[in-house]
Amino acid sequence: MRCLSGEEEKRALEYILEASKVALSSTCENSRCGSIIVRDNEIIGRGFNSPPKNQEKQRRCSIFKESYHKKITDKTCCVHAEQRAIMDALKNKADKIIGSRLYFIRLNKDDAPSRAGRPYCTICSKMALDAGIDEFVLWSKEGVCVYKTDEYNTLSYKYS
């Protein structure tokens, strides 16, 4: 991980703000998240967390995660923002996804950007690795931090 500074940090914060705008489209009742994927200063993918298309009826946001069978690894009803951004990029700009950078943000209850914790989602980290995304960016207590995707994946598996 490396934390950005100067102009690089300023530009990254602009992308995080853009991901925040995307997150406003989320219909999740627990957490509103947004992601964008950038390559060569072009946004090539956008995504927010919500149930799969035309599946609002399967919403499980209000069910306690502890009530699910322990084999269920993703206890939300939502397609993750990162997954949607990756699918969007693959649909519309597949030739640009390899070597790209994914920005992720979660909004607080007032719809303002919220600082992230540590990498934790192996579902998204594996998908990003497979798609060829080079880096993950989180706005955390340390600042705007960039992780190589393989590092993000490794850290996600260590999260507890």
pLDDT tens digits along 130-146: 999 999 999 999 999 99
Identity of the residue numbered 37: I
Q: Tell me, what's the pLDDT at 28?
A: 84
pLDDT tens digits along 1-32: 999 999 999 999 999 999 999 999 998 878 89
Q: Which of 37, 36, 39, 41 is nearest to 24 (CA)?
A: 36
Identity of the residue numbered 137: V
Question: Which spans in the chain are helix H?
Answer: 6-23, 81-92, 122-131, 149-158
Cα(74)–Cα(29) distance, integer angstroms: 16
pLDDT tens digits along 28-79: 878 899 999 999 999 999 999 998 876 555 545 555 556 554 554 555 668 9
Total tally of structural domains belonging to the chain: 1
Identity of the residue numbered 43: I
State whether residue 59 is helix, strand or coil. Answer: coil
pLDDT score of 156 more than 90? yes
Domain of 48, in residue numbers: 2-158
Q: Tell me, what's the pLDDT at 30?
A: 82
∠ Cα 6 113 58 (to 5°): 140
Check which CATH number belongs to the domain holding 27 and give it.
3.40.140.10
Cα(104)–Cα(117) distance, integer angstroms: 11
Cα(114)–Cα(140) distance, integer angstroms: 8
Q: What is the pTM of this model?
A: 0.89
Q: Is-contact 82 128, C-beta < 8 A?
A: yes
